[in-house]
Amino acid sequence: MITANANAYLLIQQALEFVPRYAIICDETKYDEVKQALAHLPIQVLAGYDAIKELVSHPDIDVVLTAMVGFSGLVPTINAIRAGKDIALANKETLVVAGEMVTALAKEHGVKILPVDSEHSAIFQCLAGEENNRIEKIILTASGGPFRGRDAASLASVTRENALKHPNWVMGAKITIDSASLMNKGLEVIEAKWLFDLQPDQIEVIVHPQSIIHSLVQFEDGSIKAQMGLPDMKLPIQYALTYPGRVKSNFKRFNFADYAQLTFEQPDMVTFRNLKLAFEALDQGGNMPCIINAANEVAVAAFLQNQTGFLEMSDVIESCMQNIAFIAHPTLHDYLNTDKETRIFAQNLIEKMPLKA
C-alpha cells in the first residue's frame, strides 16, 4: 500500500513502478485522476483520510511507514499499532502529541517503533548493542537553519521565500519553516523523550551547521558515540525498513577531505524562542506538547500564506500555551479536543494581528 496527501502525480508514478495492492490519495478531489491513470493495473484506488486510517491495519502489512505531516498522523499510527504493525516513524508529531499513550500502546501490542528522523535514527544506531549501558544524555544536532546567527531585529522582515531556503536539507515547506524557527528541533526533543525513555534534562541540543554528525549519545562512563553521514534521508529510511540488518546501498559516501572543519555552537533560544517553548512544554507534560504542536501548525500555515510574520509565530504558540486548558493526564479524546480548540484559538489570534507588509 502506498499513500499520498495531494501529490497525485508522484503517487501515480510510484504506483506504476511498484504496482501495490492499494493506492490511496488523501485529497479526494484527485481520486478520478489517480483512478484513471491506474485503471489498467490490478491496483485498488481509494481516497480520503478515513481510507488511510482503516487500511493501515490490513493483515498483509508488516511495517507502516508513517510520514504524514503533523497531527494527521496520530490516529492512523494508533490504528496500525493496535493491529500489531511495526512503525517506521517519520511523523514526529505522533509522539509529540501523545507520546505516553503511543509508547504504552506499542509496548502492550509488542510493536517496535523505529525512528526515521535522521537525528533519532542516529541515536537509535548509536544505541545498538548498548542495551545494558545507561545513557547519561543524548545530544541532538541542528543545522541552525537559514537564519543561524541572526538577531530578532533582522528576522522581523524575513519572508517565506527566505525561510524556505534551507542550507543542507531538501524537505517539505512545513518542516523547512520549522527548521528555520528551530521548532523542528523542539519537536524532536519531545519525540526523543518518548523514543528513548529519557528525562528532559538528559536531552541537549547543539547547532552543527554542516549536518554531518546527525546526533550523539553520551554514556555514564563519559564516552560519546556519534552517527555520521551526508545529509540524505534515504539512509535513515532504509535503516528503519531493513532493521536490524544493513543493506548495501549506492548512496553517496562521506569524505572527510570535503569537510575540513566540523563546528558546533549553542542554540540561541532567546531569538529562536520556539526551542525554549518546546522544552517548557516537555517539562509541563500532559496535553501541553499537543497545544504547541497545533498552534505551530496553524502559525506555520499562516506564515506560508503571508498572514503573519516569522517572529509572530512564537507569539501565537506562547499565547496558546497560556490560554488553552491544561490537562495533566489526557485521553485520546482529550488530545483530539485540545488540538481542535488550539487551532481555533490560534487562528483567531492570527486574524486579529495586523497584516504584515
- One DSSP character per residue, 244-311 reads TS-----PPPP-GGG-S----B---TTTSHHHHHHHHHHHH-TTHHHHHHHHHHHHHHHHHTTSS-TT
pLDDT tens digits for range 117-154: 999 999 999 999 999 999 999 999 999 989 999 999 99
CA distance 64 to 225: 29
**Could you tell me if 214 and 135 lie in one domain?**
yes
Is 15 inside a domain boundary?
A: no
Is 68 among the domain residues?
no
Whether the predicted pLDDT of 235 surpasses 60: yes
Q: Where are the beta strands (DSSP E) in the chain?
A: 2-4, 22-25, 44-47, 63-66, 86-89, 113-115, 135-142, 203-207, 213-219, 224-228
The one-letter amino acid code at 321 reads M
178 and 236 inside one domain: yes
Residue 178 lies inside a defined structural domain of this protein: yes
Q: 259 and 171 in one domain?
A: yes
For 60-153, strand residue ranges (E) read 63-66, 86-89, 113-115, 135-142
- Tell me what pLDDT residue 311 has: 96
Q: Name the pTM for this structure.
A: 0.92
- Angle at the Cα of 228 (from 63 to 65), degrees rounded to 5? 15
- pLDDT surpasses 60 at 96: yes
- Among the three residues 245, 270, 295, which one is the final residue of a domain in this structure? 270
Please name which of 196, 190, 214 lies closest in space to residue 139, comparing C-alpha atoms. Answer: 214
Is 218 strand, coil or helix?
strand
Residue 276 parent element (H or E): helix 273-284
Q: Are residues 262 and 140 in the same domain?
A: yes
Q: Per the structure, how many domains does the chain have?
A: 2
Lay out the sheet containing 113-115: strands in order across.
63-66, 86-89, 113-115
At 135 the three-state DSSP class reads: strand
Which residues span the domain enclosing 289?
285-357
Place of cell 519537536: 187
The bridge status of strand 113-115 relative to strand 63-66 is: unpaired
In a domain, 304, yes or no: yes
- Flag whether 30 is in a domain: no
In a domain, 311, yes or no: yes
Rounded-to-10 torsion of CA 8, 9, 13, 19: 20
Same domain, 127 and 234: yes
Residues 224 and 339 placed together within one structural domain of the fold? no
Nearest CA to 54 out of 29, 30, 28, 83 is that of 83
* pLDDT band at 170; cut points 50, 70, 90: low
296 and 265, same structural domain? Answer: no
Q: How far apart are CA 239 and CA 142, in angstroms?
A: 21
Tell me whether residue 83 is in a domain: no
pLDDT in the model for residue 213: 97
Closest to 316 measured CA to CA, from 338, 334, 300: 300
Cell of 138: 543524548
Side chain identity at 144, as an amino acid letter? G
Same domain membership, residue 253 and residue 124: yes
290 lies in the same domain as 264: no
User: In the structure, what pLDDT confidence band is assigned to residue 356 with cuts at 50, 70 and 90?
Assistant: low
Out of 270, 296, 319, pick the residue that ends a domain: 270
235 and 353 assigned to the same domain: no
Query: Do 222 and 317 lie in a common domain?
Result: no
Residue 51 inside a domain? The answer is no
Q: Are residues 263 and 295 in the same domain?
A: no
What's residue 167's pLDDT?
74
Of 270, 304, 321, which one is at a domain's C-terminal end? 270
pLDDT surpasses 80 at 166 = no
Q: Which residue has the higher pLDDT, 280 or 173?
A: 280
